[in-house]
Amino acid sequence: MDVTTDANAPWLIVGLGNPGPEYAMNRHNVGFMVADLLAERIGGRFKRAGKAQAQVVEGRLGPPGTGSRRVVLAKPMSFMNVSGGPVNALRDFYKVPVANIVAVHDELDIDYGVLRLKLGGGDNGHNGLKSMTKVTGPDYHRVRFGIGRPPGRMQVADFVLKDFSSAERKELDYFVDRAADAAEALVLEGLERAQSTYNS
């Protein structure tokens, strides 16, 4: 189901992750990776966002003059578990309807590299989503990037805070590129069309 909002309202695409070089290649930081690629595509560089504890890039997605959309790309700098505060501050500052917020995040219950797009729902134990939902309610869009379950008896917390394996890294760029395409399609074409293309 698509949610109709003000056509002129901006979209806020939030890549979830943890700040700092030691986390950069963690599975938990795939949202940051997708946000970085989207910033590259629109020719922007992340900068500190005023009082919000986040880095942002403002720009437009889509070809000029063909229904391009104003977007704010964001990476909360508050650590994953308290992402909601920066998201709420950005939502208020840019006057973004909740239905125009897209969270890009890692998802344990989906195989590595598989994407699922959806609107609303629970947090499935994901602390970044839990924190966002606390301040915005659940009715925002999600681009869920599958990372699979931890092997053997490895704890979930250890698994998500480990870097992608060397085997996974061989395909990581391709999957991040596809997730960025999916986020663009969601904003430009609506949820149902994006789902039909990217929900594998």
- Residue (of 111, 102, 83) closest to 27 by Cα position: 111
116 beta partners? 144
In the sheet with 11-15, reading across from the earlier edge strand, the strands are 47-48, 54-61, 69-76, 11-15, 101-107, 141-146, 115-119
Of 28, 105, 126, 141, the catalytic one is 28
Catalytic site includes residue 28? yes
- φ, ψ of residue 62 to 5 degrees: the values are 100, 155
* Active-site residue list: 28
